[in-house]
Amino acid sequence: MVMAGGVLAAVIGPNLAIWSQQWYQGNPYAGAFYGLFGLYVVALLLILLLPLPRAVPVNRHERVRSYRELFRQPLLLAAVASGMIGYGIMVLIMTATPLAMNHHQHDFFATAQVIQWHVLGMFVPAFFTGALIRRFSTRRVILWGCSALLLSVMINLSGQGFWNYWWGLLWLGIGWNFTFIGATHLLTFSYQPVEKAKVQGINEFMVFSAAAMGSLFAGQGLVMLGWAWLNLFAIPWILLVALLIWRLREPEPLTA
């Protein structure tokens, strides 16, 4: 349900960018930031009103493994790598796409459409990704996600027309959904209840650091490498995740 909230973002975000172009004279992008400010205020108010339950204290007498011990688990390594690379590659290519489209003379409306369908590809599968995991296994869904990311790269390399970007970004979104949700589910098999905060905390830090690096490198990478080489750069990382996941056995829940 949380992931499905991104479907609203797919509708609101690109349209807000289009509508806000006339809000601030002299800068077609400034209006979008004013619109975002308003959305953030609404989100803040909604979060303040959430009836969140109190935290449940954990059993302090249980042993919590060190990071070294935790990361000796192939399952944890595979889960974190899947989340990091799936998210980092998605952000890298997504952020570079509007710049590449502008360079290849696509107008703002076309770029907004590509991003809109990319976001739909990211979040619409959330309605059934869980069912796919239950039916086919976490490993298989993550491998499907890696295949979708590779397909995205192949489409991006095949040309710079509107439909190349449209299909490339759609499959990029689907690949992110399968790798990220699959990795999140896989992670839950790698820790005891008392280790939950520790493992999820380091996972979030590493995954979103990878996303930040993808965002920071997108512009410079496009300038230094070009659109084709930026996509080629993603291939070995995607294959690395596929290899780590392929070598895993389907996990079973840990018992205390």
Q: What is the rounded distance in angstroms from the CA atom of residue 89 to the CA atom of residue 75?
A: 21
Average pLDDT, the chain: 90
**Structure-block tokens of residue 131:** 């069912």
Asked if the model's pLDDT at residue 256 lies above 70, the reply is no
| pLDDT in the model for residue 255 | 44
Give the residue carrying structure tokens 């759609």: 170
Class of domain 66-246: mainly alpha
Phi, psi at 158, each rounded to 5°: -80, -10
Predicted TM-score (pTM) of the model is 0.85
**Predicted confidence (pLDDT) per residue in 188-214, tens digit:** 999 998 899 999 999 999 999 999 999
| pLDDT in the model for residue 1 | 72
Report CA-CA distances (Å) from 40 to 37, 151, 228, 236. 5, 34, 35, 37
Domain boundaries in the chain? 1-51, 66-246
**Predicted confidence (pLDDT) per residue in 100-125, tens digit:** 999 888 988 899 899 989 999 999 99
Asked if the model's pLDDT at residue 156 lies above 90, the reply is yes
More confident residue, 204 or 1: 204
